[in-house]
């Protein structure tokens, strides 16, 4: 998947085999290596980081202790997984502010959450469905409009109908 952005991701090693497989699959990980293997590659090959970026690889580095900061400055993302949640601990693009379910993790959310220059973040200020009737005005039109949700997480079936379509209002009353 050469269209995906590169990433060097450090992650805690206390994962179940299912969690590790899910993360590897959902992030399209090119290779999973141990922290010791990563450090030895850095020491042996000074171009290793350049190769990761130029080949658009996604390397997952399993760390026994995330408190060990050896070569951590090279990581694009450092995440901690516990009880099915992935928390962003460190990144090179901004403050950590993201926690996702392992079931929903993907490389674009991780890089977008850290304001990476490899992905585009579309502001919801451009939302054309501002008055869709949902408590939370999320959605940009088209497929994104279908993802609009109210505070309970229920999908807003047709954002245009709830406030903008008089026939629909009369029918549902």
Number of domains in the chain: 2
Q: Do 101 and 55 share a domain, yes or no?
A: yes
pLDDT digits (tens, 9 = 90+) for 121-169: 555 444 444 444 444 444 444 444 444 444 444 445 555 555 555 555 5
Indicate the SS3 state at residue 60. strand
Structure tokens that stand for 137 in this block:
């005005």
Question: Cα–Cα distance between 128 and 140 in angstroms, integer?
Answer: 6
Q: What is the pLDDT of residue 148?
A: 46
Containing H/E element for 170? helix 166-172
- Within the chain, which residues score under 50 in pLDDT? 1, 124-155
What is the model's pLDDT at position 62? 97
Residue 74 and residue 134 in one domain: no
What does pTM read for this prediction? 0.60
Q: Are residues 136 and 58 in the same domain?
A: no
Q: What's the pLDDT score for residue 2?
A: 56
Q: Is 119 within the bounds of a domain?
A: no
Task: Quote the domain boundaries for residue 105.
Answer: 7-113
Shared domain check, 146 and 64: no
Tokens describing residue 37: 């293997």
């Amino acid at each position: 998947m050469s269209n995906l952005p590169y990433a060097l991701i450090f992650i805690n090693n206390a994962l179940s085999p299912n969690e590790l497989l899910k993360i590897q699959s959902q992030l399209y990980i090119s290779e999973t290596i141990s922290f010791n293997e990563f450090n030895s590659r850095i020491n042996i090959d000074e171009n290793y980081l350049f190769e990761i970026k130029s080949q658009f690889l996604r390397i997952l580095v399993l760390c026994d202790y995330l408190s060990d900061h050896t070569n951590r400055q090279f990581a694009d993302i450092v995440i901690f997984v516990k009880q099915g949640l992935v928390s962003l601990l460190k990144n090179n693009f901004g403050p950590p502010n993201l926690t996702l379910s392992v079931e929903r993790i993907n490389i674009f959310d991780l890089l977008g959450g850290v304001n990476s220059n490899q992905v585009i973040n579309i502001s919801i200020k451009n939302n054309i469905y501002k008055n869709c009737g949902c408590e939370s005005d999320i959605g940009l039109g088209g497929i994104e409009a279908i993802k609009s949700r109210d505070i309970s997480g229920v999908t807003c079936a047709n954002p245009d109908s709830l406030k903008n379509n008089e026939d629909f209002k009369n029918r549902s009353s």
